[in-house]
Amino acid sequence: MIKLVLSLLTVAAGVLLTASAQGHTGGTNGFATITASGETMRFSITLPVAAVSPELSERMHLGQPGVTPDYQPLLDAVEQHLHVSADGNGCVAAPGDLTPPADPTGNFLIIVYFVCASAPHQLSIRDDLSDALGKDYHTLAKIEWPGGVQQFAFQPDAREAQVSVAPTAGPSRGAGSFFLLGIEHILTGYDHLLFLLALLLRGGNVWSLLKIITAFTIAHSITLALAAFNVIVLPGRLVEATIALSIAYVAAEDLFMRSAASHRWAVSFVFGLVHGFGFSSVLRELGLPKEGLIWSLLNFNLGVEAGQAMAVLVALPVLLWLHRTRWEARTIKALSTIVLVIGLGLFVDRAFL
């Protein structure tokens, strides 16, 4: 049994070391502003270089010494994978325009105009960019028209937005797509999951674990709201480095402190404030207007909580079972060592590299 546990730990270490490099971004995000003005739809999208798939990057000759990049394949991919319809009739895409990034890690700016037969009342937007850029790609979109604004998160399983753009149109339901984005964000946010794992390893009894989870939820909800509304904004590099440091700190407590559970809820709250700033980056980078942000924020936060609950429900029975075995101390020590090494590695990478 001991050999089995050690083997599982080895496999887990490999998976975590590979996955942790992805951070908590939950894939790559494009940020789009879709503006409806009469018969014309302007689709402006900012794409990070990292969003370009390896196959597309090779066709564009990106990063190839002595070769001038060809940006046309990316522009073609965007034009071919965006579709706009007005009142059930397809709109025609005009030739787009692409502005290349200023540096190798910058962003592409792509603008495509769609011309419709008449000014629409019901606008349908379909984003299939994940087919060209990869299944982990999402477009976070702000849809504007003279009568209002809507936010929508386009994903491989949520590709289409229906928007009523009549002047009297009321609030739309697009913010609900941010619930799914919140779930995916936490479940693919390996640094947040590592932090939760480190918190739970020596969290104590069920009551202590409940306090830890509640403190983390309250804390990150506070700073998520403050940062998303631009009340408090911290540098992204500082936030990411501190998140990594929080992982290492809690893992070190698990290894070297005898009574970590007695104050673990306070540690969870303090570092939960920092993690909230990390969660907010997805929404804040989109520049959502305040009149629509509250619904997107609420749905995104509920999605984060749902994803967190899923992770806890998976981990908790295993930890409770482990507590009743004679391998608990050695397993916690091994896991804490793995998490500590990963946390320190992420900290060095984010703070200094």
pLDDT tens-place values along the chain, 353 residues long? 334 333 433 334 443 333 333 344 446 788 899 998 888 999 999 998 888 988 999 999 988 888 999 999 999 999 999 999 999 899 999 889 999 998 877 889 999 999 998 888 889 999 999 999 988 888 988 888 887 778 888 888 889 988 888 655 444 445 566 787 778 778 877 888 888 888 888 766 778 888 888 888 899 889 888 887 778 878 878 888 999 999 999 999 888 877 666 688 888 899 989 988 887 776 665 555 555 567 777 888 888 888 888 888 888 888 888 888 888 888 889 999 999 999 999 999 888 87
Helix (H, G, I), strand (E, B) or coil at 150: strand
The answer to whether residue 144 is domain-embedded is yes
Task: Let me know whether 125 and 231 are in one domain.
Answer: no
* 42 and 151 share one domain: yes
User: Do 122 and 204 have their domain in common?
Assistant: no
Q: Is residue 11 part of a domain?
A: yes
pLDDT of residue 99: 94
* Tally of CB atoms within 10 A around 228: 26
83 and 138 part of one domain: yes
Q: What integer pLDDT is reported at residue 64 of this predicted model?
A: 86
Residues 75 and 158 occupy one common structural domain: yes
Indicate if 206 and 338 belong to the same structural domain: yes
User: How many of the other CB atoms lie within 10 Å of CB of 240?
Assistant: 23
Whether 183 is covered by a domain: the verdict is no
Same domain, 222 and 237: yes
3-state secondary structure of 68: coil
Q: Cα(first)–Cα(last) distance of the chain, in Å?
A: 41
pLDDT for res 327: 86
Residue ending a domain, choose from 139, 174, 209: 174
> Is the domain of 10 the same as that of 71?
no
Residue 184 lies in a domain: no
Q: Would you state the pLDDT for residue 125?
A: 94
Q: Measure the CA–CA gap between 264 and 209, rounded to whole angstroms.
A: 9
| Cβ atoms of 255 and 202 closer than 8 Å | no
User: Do 160 and 42 sit in the same domain of this protein?
Assistant: yes
Number of domains in the chain: 2
Estimate to the nearest angstrom the gap between the alpha carbon of 304 and the chain centroid. 10
- pLDDT for residue 16: 39
Rounded Cα gap, residues 92 and 4, in angstroms? 60
Using CA atoms, how far apart are residues 227 and 30, in angstroms rounded to an integer?
A: 20
Parallel, antiparallel, or unpaired for β 137-145 and 28-37?
A: parallel
Residues 6+ apart with CB under 8 A from 69: 60, 61, 62, 100
Look at residues 127, 146, 174 and tell me which one is the last residue of a structural domain: 174
Helix (H) or strand (E) holding 144: strand 137-145
340 shares a domain with 200? yes
Give the pLDDT score at 9: 39
End residue of a domain, out of 129, 149, 174? 174
Q: What was the pLDDT predicted at 288?
A: 56
pTM recorded for the entire structure: 0.59
Domain range for 346 is 2-24+189-352
